[in-house]
Structure 1
Amino acid sequence: MTAATAPTTRSELARPEALPGTLHLGLVRARLELRQYFRERDAVVFIFLYPVIMLAIFATVFGQDGARVGPDGGTVPFAQYFLPGMVATGVMLSSFQSLAITIAVERDEGGLKRLRGTPLPAAAYFLGKVGQVLVASALQLALLLAVAGLLFDVALPTAPDRWFTFAWVFLLGTAAGSVLGVAFSSVPRTGRSASAVVTPVVLVLQFVSGVFFMYDALPTWMQQIASVFPLKWMAQGMRSVFLPDTYLPMEVAGSWEHPMTALVLAVWAVVGLVLGVRTFRWTRRDAG
């Protein structure tokens, strides 16, 4: 081999292929996350079907006599009254609770450490988690609305502006719940304790945020606590979608407060993102 031909020979050597883009890897990771999610039957039952089961229980126990919705004594079926809260809690379960528990378990079992040692970008991993949450939440809500409409005769909205409100409350709520779930996943010390740490937080928020009770009937101090957290605003935003405007006087502020709902959910999304970046760990605390 002569010096003149050496450069040509080197240029013909096979070059390693570049990795796909982060977005493409995120989509691939999302498909993998979805397969793993639906293989966990307990997760599907207790997270995916929980709002559906709770709506069925409330509608069956209280019947179709109706819940009070306005000063004039107008009523809507109990199933319709509880539907907004079930939609909001479904989003929270599929985003915050699901991610906080599963990421803690993956960290405890060493899955995150092994994943960190691969060429997969960290952003692709988180995109996969968000993609899994979006798809699971959408399927969950589609099933919930189908059950409400077909089995309990809930009159679903037909006005486009109501579905537009549904869309932005859903997206902002999912975003806030997802990043907060990632951030909170660092709180449990082990994967075994994750469910015990995360579930009580979700249950308390459900009870004080107007999911199981009429929000205006709760004590003032409880309303003030709930108004700090996103679930209250998700439930209120969803009430503006599924309840008639005759319910408006029963809201604490006397309005649906759409701008405040968007602001609070957006702020929590930013707070969760900042906390997640600062506190997320790929390994257990005792791993060094």
Structure 2
Amino acid sequence: MNATTHAIRLGAERGLREFRHSLGSSDQWYNVFVAVGFLTVLWFQRDAAVDGSTVTLAALTLPSMVAMSVVFGSLVGPAGQLAINREDGTLLRAKAVPHGMVGYLVGRTVETALGNLLSLLIVLVPGLFLVNVLAHAGVAGLLALLAVLALGMAAMLPWGAVAGSVTKSPSGAMGLSMLPMMGLAAISGVFYPITALPGWLQGVAQVFPLYWTAHGARAVLLPDSAAVAELGGSWRVLEMVGVLGVWAVVGFLVAPTILRRMARRESGAEMEQRRQAALQRVR
């Protein structure tokens, strides 16, 4: 086994351990809180019909919520964790070990993927009691949903690493990643059909992965009659794959360069300076 393969294996094991550790953390209460909020929205939407379609507004919303959960987790989670690891010295230690950055990034990817899967289950499983979208989609639809969500995660994950690299504190990373995503959630057709929005907002939403991941989730889980609520009245699967693919490719080209530059600047003095700044914030 060569050094890189060994680093990848160790990174995967670390990601699994950190995910197990996170199951006992207070972060899971946040997931439960979000799931309760989503279910409340579905409850009020369960009897509202989409004009010109045989599906309810809740059926349109559930796949979008699942997609939003994964996209948020793929951007906000890595951004915040990378900023924390810069502050506590984890990244500096990884830099000092041969192929340590490879193992670190693999670990972050594994933990993020498992965390997204958990978020998916927390939202989707109880949501199915209110909206049984799988009745139409079946096993093939569920597998297609996992493929769409994996592509959405790939489109967002490198940009989460970029956000964590260019900010100087965990709060800065959260602000840089969370606030724009909240704005995009409002215009990306997650909670109501995007066709109800002005044309210029529709154009803005279609630039970003959140809209297309939610659109793809609806496409694989809902019947063709639900496409009436989509732009152009159809499922634009090729466009979805194309936009998410471009974000993923560009992200994985840009992120390594930014991460390498950030890692080169890491030093004990820089870490201590950030630690002292963090202590000042706590006081």
In the superposition, the TM-score normalised over structure 2's length comes to 0.84
**Bigger proportion of residues as helix:** 2
- Name the CA shift for 1:188/1:50 in 2 (closer, same or farther; >3 Å): farther
Q: Deviations over 1:209-254 (max 9, x none)?
A: 1112221111111111111110010010011123221111221122
Q: Which runs of 5+ in 2 are unaligned?
A: 272-283
Answering whether residue 28 of structure 2 is matched by residue 44 of structure 1, we say yes
Decide which moves more: 256-265 or 139-148.
139-148
Q: Whole-Å Cα distance in 1 between the matches of residues 45 and 241 of structure 2?
A: 33
Secondary structure of the residue aligned to 2:231 is: coil
Q: Whole-Å Cα distance in 1 between the matches of residues 192 and 118 of structure 2?
A: 26
Instruction: Note if contact 1:55-1:82 (Cα within 8 Å) is conserved in structure 2.
Output: no
- Name the CA shift for 1:204/1:148 in 2 (closer, same or farther; >3 Å): same
Structure 2 match to 1:113: 92
Output the amino acid matched with 2:58: A
Residue 284 of structure 1: how far off its partner (Å): 5.9
Output the amino acid matched with 1:45: W
Answering whether residue 85 of structure 2 is matched by residue 98 of structure 1, we say no
Q: Whole-Å Cα distance in 2 between the matches of residues 29 and 128 of structure 1?
A: 5
Structure label with greater radius of gyration = 1
**4+ residue runs over 6 A deviation:** none
Q: Deviations over 1:19-62 (max 9, x none)?
A: 97133112212123213433431x3333x3455223212023x2
Output the amino acid matched with 2:88: E
Q: CA RMSD in A?
A: 2.5
In the superposition, the TM-score normalised over structure 1's length comes to 0.83
Instruction: Note if contact 1:248-1:256 (Cα within 8 Å) is conserved in structure 2.
Output: yes
Structure 2 match to 1:59: 42
Q: Whole-Å Cα distance in 2 between the matches of residues 49 and 241 of structure 1?
A: 26
Instruction: Note if contact 2:75-2:160 (Cα within 8 Å) is conserved in structure 1.
Output: yes
Percent identical: 28
Instruction: Note if contact 2:163-2:173 (Cα within 8 Å) is conserved in structure 1.
Output: no
Answering whether residue 19 of structure 2 is matched by residue 34 of structure 1, we say yes
Structure 2 match to 1:154: 132
Which of the numbers 54, 59, 63 marks the counterpart of 1:74? 54
